[in-house]
Structure 1
């Protein structure tokens, strides 16, 4: 049985608008993935190796989200820096400084500390673009839907979108396990978004998990402490949406 409140929340959502938004995301991603890697075209001449990023799909989802924010009637609750700008900046600072200190080994002949800084910074910039669509516009488009259900919806949409990004999901044990991981991770990202009203925070958390090592665990623990102490006390009203 669906509760009366949940039924009301679902009825208030403009699902047609969300479907159009998501359809354009899928179509846009499909086509830009066929284009040359814009980052490689721009910066590739300065290095003698293939850059490990393709920002094409991040750029297109960001542009589509910008357009929908501009021309749709969705109330914008989420911004880049959120409700506490200084606290928000702490997240990417910890992320970038942490990986710069620990470093990331690479096969490109780049100093591991410099590469750690470069890798996580570019990844973070990409994740800002991606999160602007999923935890930004889509989150706002879902209106007053309880944050748990927002996490499930955005996580599922996010997982399906990756079918256009990855050649296979073998490293995750198959697509359905990957989809489950996306939904679980979406709970963390959605919570951080609603708690801080920021895109920067979930983008930093997203970038953090581009690598999984002891550094990831340490920084993630710090991030959780920051989130749960965002206010003096954990206020449930802060995560109702």
Structure 2
């Protein structure tokens, strides 16, 4: 019964995620606003809605947390949200004379909406499977959700990126259970709407080094303080 409920929950979650994605990017149903930031969020809201509806219908507990194992929500907010906004926004201001504050936070919220579904719900439902199998399932479902079905070189590269992203973001989530943290990692590529060039790649590398270093140092210090404490 438990396995049947879990399988049913995943089916409903994914059906809703796919449906809302299709309506947002393949139809004009959501064209009721000209606000580009709302339009961005509507394209990524499906996984979150699917997770909440599925959890309600099948009585599946959702242990979602913005702060995860961190002592307070301000810490991951500063490291994984405020820092990239300041860093990327400053570089954008120097190069283009504008600070895309609203756009950057919209991208982060978009990432958060997706991560509620992919990590907060789906990864939790598949956590009893072998890790490689979990990564493959999530990566393939994530790829299909983007509705890119052409077998082009760029799409195959994108599929590879999703495999790496599923593995890497999944490890971050398993390490700290912070939705703010995984939303930051998720948003790295989405921050740069005009493609990845030298400056963008340097910014991504800098953020990855800072974030991974922070996770390692915080985890080490937390174990020294209280090795038996797990806050999810």
Q: List per-residue Cα deviations over 1:51-106 (Å, max 9, x = no partner).
A: 69632221233222222233323333332221213432221121111112211689
* Structural mapping, 1:152-167, within 5 Å: 152-163=136-147, 166=148
Give the TM-score normalised by structure 1: 0.74
* CA distance in 2: counterparts of 1:216 and 1:66, whole angstroms: 31
Specify the alignment match of 1:92 in structure 2.
81
1:73-112 superposed matches below 5 A: 73-84=59-70, 85-89=73-77, 90-103=79-92, 111-112=97-98
1:200 corresponds to 2:180: yes
Q: Do the aligned residues in 1 keep the contact of 2:143 with 2:162 (CA within 8 Å)?
A: yes
What stretches of structure 1 of length at least 5 have no aligned partner? 1-10, 45-50
Q: What's 1:138 paired with?
A: 122
Is 1:35 aligned with 2:24?
no
Most deviating of 192-201 and 54-63: 54-63
The answer to whether the Cα contact below 8 Å between 1:21 and 1:64 also exists between their aligned partners in 2 is yes
Alignment coverage as a number of residue pairs? 213
Maintained 8 Å contact 1:32/1:56: yes
Distance 1:105 1:65, change over 3 A: farther
Q: CA–CA distance in 1 between the matches of 2:167 and 2:218?
A: 17
| Structure 1 residue 13, shift from structure 2 partner | 8.4
Equivalent residue in structure 1 for 2:170, among 185, 190, 202? 190
Q: Which residue of 2 aligns with 1:227?
A: 215
Q: Summarize the alignment of residues 169-188 of structure 1 with structure 2, pairs less than 5 Å apart.
A: 173-188=153-168
Unaligned runs of 5+ in 2: none
1:103-154 deviation digits (Å, cap 9, x = unpaired): 1689xxx733x12x33321111111111111111111222433544433321
Change (3 A) 1:130 1:64: same
Which is worse superposed, 130-139 or 203-212?
203-212
Match of 1:119 among 96, 99, 103: 103
TM superposition shift of 1:167: 8.4
Show CA shifts across 1:31-59 (max 9, x none).
23313555x81536xxxxxx696322212
Q: Does the Cα contact within 8 Å between 1:37 and 1:55 map onto a contact in 2? A: no
Give SS of 1:21's match.
helix
TM-score w.r.t. the length of structure 2 is 0.76
CA distance in 1, matches of 2:5, 2:54: 15
Show the counterpart of 2:16: 24
Cα distance, 1:176–1:30 mapped onto 2, change above 3 Å = same
